Every structure is written in C-alpha cells, then in structure tokens.
Amino acid sequence: MRIAFVYDAVYPWVKGGAEKRIYELGTRLLLKGHEVHLFGIKWWEGPDVIEHEGMFLHGVCKARELYVEGRRSITAALIFSMKLFPHINHEKFDLIDVSVFPYFSCFTVKLVSVLNKGHAVYTWHEVWGDYWYEYMGKAGFFGKTIEKAVSKISEDNIAVSEWTKQRLKDLGVHEEKITVVPNGIDLKEISKIKAEDSDKSHGIDEKHYDVIFVGRLIKDKNVDVLLRSISLLKIDHPDISCCIVGDGPEKVGLMDLSNEIGIFKNVKFAGFEDYSSLIGKVKASKVFVLPSSREGFGMVVIEAFACGIPVVTVKEKYNAAQGLVGDGVDGFVVALEDSEIAQAVGKIIKDNKSYKSMSKAAFEKSQDYDWNRALFKLEKYL
C-alpha cells in the first residue's frame, strides 16, 4: 500500500508523542513492504522532498514557530493546511492518515480524499471538549466548534487509547467508527541503553537524579508545580536533585522560578536530548513525575516503566496518563498540588523495599506496549 501520514511537526526535528508515533509506525510499515510518505512542515535544509530512513518526507511550507505565547499558533496551522493541498492532491495514496490536532489539515485531507476518491483516517491523540475554554477563554468556543466539525467529517477514526476513544464517543462519534491503536515503545532499544553514569546508578541510593521530568516546557505540563514540590522535598532532603528534560516557551520562567524558591542548584535543565541520552537519564532517576493537565496518552510514562521507574502523575480531567498508572502499584496518581506530589515522591524514595516492588510492577506493565503490538493492530485495521 501507498500510505501517507499528515502532521506539521516531523520527528526528529520536532520531538513529541505524535511525531514519534508516526516515525515508529512508519518505519515499521516500510519493513512490511508498504511505501510511506509524510507531509509536514519543512524543518530540514535542501530539497522539499527527501528520503529519510526509507520514508519520503514532503516539506509543504517553510519552518515556523509552532507555539506563540505558549499556545499552538493558529496562523501556522492555517498556513500548513493551505500549503498542504497542492502537495498532496497530485499524489495517489491508498490511505491518508491525518493527525487531528491542529485540525485545519483535516479539512484539506477530507477534500483531497473526495477529489481523488481515496481513503482517509483521522488519528485522535486527544479530545479537548470543554478544555478549549481553559485554553483560550471565551474564544475556546471556536476551537470546540472546529473539533466537533472534524468529528463529523471523519468516517474512520483511530484513537491512541481507550481513554481517547471514550472521549470521542462523548463527542458523538459512533463506537463502530473508532479503532484503538495505542502508542508504544521500542522495548528492545530501551533495554540496550545504559543509565547515565551507569557505574553509579545500580541501586536506588546510587541513582544520579531523584526526580525527572520529560516533555515540552509549556503551561499545560505544570512544571512550575513540580519545582515547588522539589522545594518542599528539599526541607528533608537538602541534596535532592531534579532533571528537567525538554524545551519550550516556559523554560526561562521556570529557570527564574527555581532561582526564586532556592532550588536552582538542585535542578538541571537539560534541554532536548537525543533518545539515547533521554532514556539514559530516565534510567539514572528514582521517580518520574508527569504533572500535566492534558495528555492524550502519556508515552513518557510507558518509557519510564520500561526503565523500571515508578511514575507520579496527577488527577486532571484531561490527563490520559493517569489511566496508565496503577495508584500505589507502579506509582501514584495525586492531586495537582505541590504538597501532594512531594508526598508521593517522598513515599517512593524513602522505602527501598516498596521502591523495588513498584519498579518491578512498572517494568512488567511496559511489556504490553511494544510498537510491534501497535503495528499488528494497525495492519489488522488497514
């Protein structure tokens, strides 16, 4: 089959869950004999169309900032959707898989599928619903309306989790139009990566970092709450260390905050890392904390589990990651409050026996999330 993925952000130039999903599934579809194309923003130098690891990448418009003042740029999304049409319309594909967010490209793909009598499938990484009002205030009405409109034009939908499937049903999409193809991880690759300072991080007391966070530094991730929890933990653990892996519009403010509350020397802002370095840092940590208000899946949770690292996440209406964590089994699910997060982290790091039990449970759960299992479900669906 000739398969096209449509998403403005392209891995490895942009690192995130949706980008990684397309990359992992795309490279595996290649090995199954399919021809794979990806239409996105041109993040690379040189020709508009390049071959990268066997996939054909189509740069439909110039690189531009995806976020403005911490929010996805509407202008960038509109430009991408308009520039996409001439690039994808002259191609013939058996299937076009478009990532729903940021929405406008879905209408372009729908038009192309009608004109070319092709088949389109819409991959929902998350469903926002009323969260639009939290994100944009009164203007959220327009975002919610567009999301609803996409749900009406999509005859075939892929949800990345049962959580997202339920939210799609709540949006009015019939169950028979939804197939769950979960995100995954490369268990074999992760197993080969050594912990950072591996000669020092075999036991819990020798771990390089006490706490780690991985993700874009945007408002929804609530890294400021994590930093305040580190400040509380520092009272009883003066040498506590925290590693923040990622970058984004909130970074400068977060660095200023860590200085203001007296934990600047306890926190390392590592920026974006290549995958091997990222996993090495996770393996060298005691606890992974994900305080996000909004997650469509939470792939970093499964990656942490594969490293045998317990996870603390939060009880937020739009945080699908809480559905991955067994409270008290392989981590904790707590309120989005610095004191709650601090208490949960403290419970994990102070009891070596309990930590070993959680670590084992986390690793065992990760075995259900290999990318090859996701690929099997996708091919069955196709």
DSSP letters, 78-126, are: HHHHHHHHHHHHTS--SEEEEE-TTSHHHHHHHHHHHHTT--EEEEES-
| Structure tokens that stand for 199 in this block | 């000669």
**177 and 191 together in one domain:** no
Q: Return the pLDDT at 199.
A: 55
Residue with tokens 């372009």: 108
Q: Residue 267: which residues within 8 A CB-CB, separation 6 or more?
A: 227, 230, 241, 242, 243, 244, 258
Q: Return the pLDDT at 87.
A: 96
Q: Into how many domains does the chain fold?
A: 2
Residue with tokens 């981590």: 331
Instruction: Tell me the CA end-to-end span of the chain in Å, nearest whole number.
Output: 10
| Structure tokens that stand for 14 in this block | 């942009």
379: in domain: no
**194 and 128 together in one domain:** no
**169 and 192 together in one domain:** no
Q: Return the pLDDT at 198.
A: 59
Q: Return the pLDDT at 202.
A: 46
336: in domain: yes
β pairing state of 242-245 and 267-271: parallel
What is the domain range of residue 21? 2-181
**53 and 118 together in one domain:** yes
- Neighbour-count burial for 212-223, b at 16+ CB within 10 Å, e otherwise: bbbbbbbbbbbb
72: in domain: yes
373: in domain: no
202, HSE (Cβ side, Cα atoms, 13 Å): 2
Q: Return the pLDDT at 72.
A: 86
Domain boundary, last residue among 146, 181, 216: 181
Residue 156 CB-density burial (10 A; 0-12 exposed, 13-18 middle, 19+ buried): middle
151: in domain: yes
Q: Return the pLDDT at 356.
A: 93
- Name the strand (E) or helix (H) holding 357: helix 352-366
Specify the amino acid at residue 366.
Answer: S
Q: Return the pLDDT at 206.
A: 67
Distance of CA 342 to the CA centre of its chain: 24
Question: Of 231, 232, 226, which is closest to residue 245 (Cα–Cα)?
Answer: 226
Residue 79's CATH number:
3.40.50.2000
pTM, 2 dp: 0.80
Q: Residue 15: which residues within 8 A CB-CB, separation 6 or more?
A: 272
Q: Return the pLDDT at 354.
A: 87
**25 and 68 together in one domain:** yes
**35 and 167 together in one domain:** yes
**210 and 359 together in one domain:** yes
- Classified as helix, coil or strand, 194 is coil
Rounded (10°) CA dihedral 379, 171, 162, 294: 110
**74 and 90 together in one domain:** yes
**Residue-wise pLDDT tens for the chain (382 aa)?**
999 999 999 999 997 789 989 999 999 999 999 999 999 999 999 999 999 999 999 999 999 988 887 688 999 999 999 999 999 998 899 999 999 999 999 999 999 999 998 899 999 999 998 889 988 889 899 999 999 999 999 999 999 988 899 999 999 999 999 999 999 999 999 999 999 875 554 445 668 899 999 998 999 999 999 999 999 999 999 999 999 999 999 999 999 999 999 999 999 999 988 889 999 999 999 999 999 998 888 889 999 999 999 999 999 988 999 999 999 999 999 999 999 999 999 999 988 888 999 999 999 999 989 999 999 999 988 8
**288 and 255 together in one domain:** yes
Domain boundary, last residue among 137, 154, 181: 181
**50 and 36 together in one domain:** yes
- Name the strand (E) or helix (H) holding 285: strand 285-290
380: in domain: no
278: in domain: yes
50: in domain: yes
**343 and 306 together in one domain:** yes
**275 and 141 together in one domain:** no
Domain boundary, last residue among 181, 209, 226: 181
